[in-house]
């Protein structure tokens, strides 16, 4: 079981998502990551500064696992270029 750390950029990006249902869906998906690596929709990234990507609907969540902490770095819609 991992503790979840929301980085400042990720919090700001989440707050900018207008649809409250989508925000709730992303938050719930990230909470399920506490059981990582048994979480589904997770892909290990190659040649990227972050280790993993979680797919939540049309959004992607970038995160790393460091010393028992799951660090959530940023979100983006897969239709746009990552920030």
Tokens of 4: 């979840």
3-state secondary structure of 58: coil
Q: What is the pLDDT of residues 22-73, one digit of tens each?
A: 999 999 999 888 776 667 788 888 888 888 999 998 999 999 988 988 999 9
Residue 83, domain member (yes or no): no
The answer to the question of residue 64 being in a domain is yes
pLDDT tens digits, 12-25: 999 998 899 999 99
Q: Is residue 52 part of a domain?
A: yes
Residues of the domain holding 11: 3-77
Q: Which residue has the tokens 């990552």?
A: 82
Please give the model's pTM, rounded to 2 decimal places.
0.82
Instruction: Please report whether residue 82 resides in a domain.
Output: no
Contact by Cβ (8 Å): 62, 50: yes
Q: How many domains does the chain have?
A: 1
Q: Is the pLDDT score of 80 beyond 70?
A: no
Assigned domain for 23 exists: yes
Domain with residue 38: its CATH number is 3.30.2310.20
């Amino acid at each position: 079981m991992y503790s979840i750390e929301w980085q400042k950029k990720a919090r700001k990006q989440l707050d900018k998502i207008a649809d409250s249902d989508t925000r709730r869906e992303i938050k719930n998906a990230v909470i399920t990551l506490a059981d990582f690596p048994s979480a589904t929709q997770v892909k290990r990234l190659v040649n990227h500064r972050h280790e993993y990507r979680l797919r939540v609907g049309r959004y992607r969540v970038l995160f790393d696992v460091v010393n028992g902490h799951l660090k959530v770095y940023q979100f983006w819609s897969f239709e746009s270029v990552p920030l």
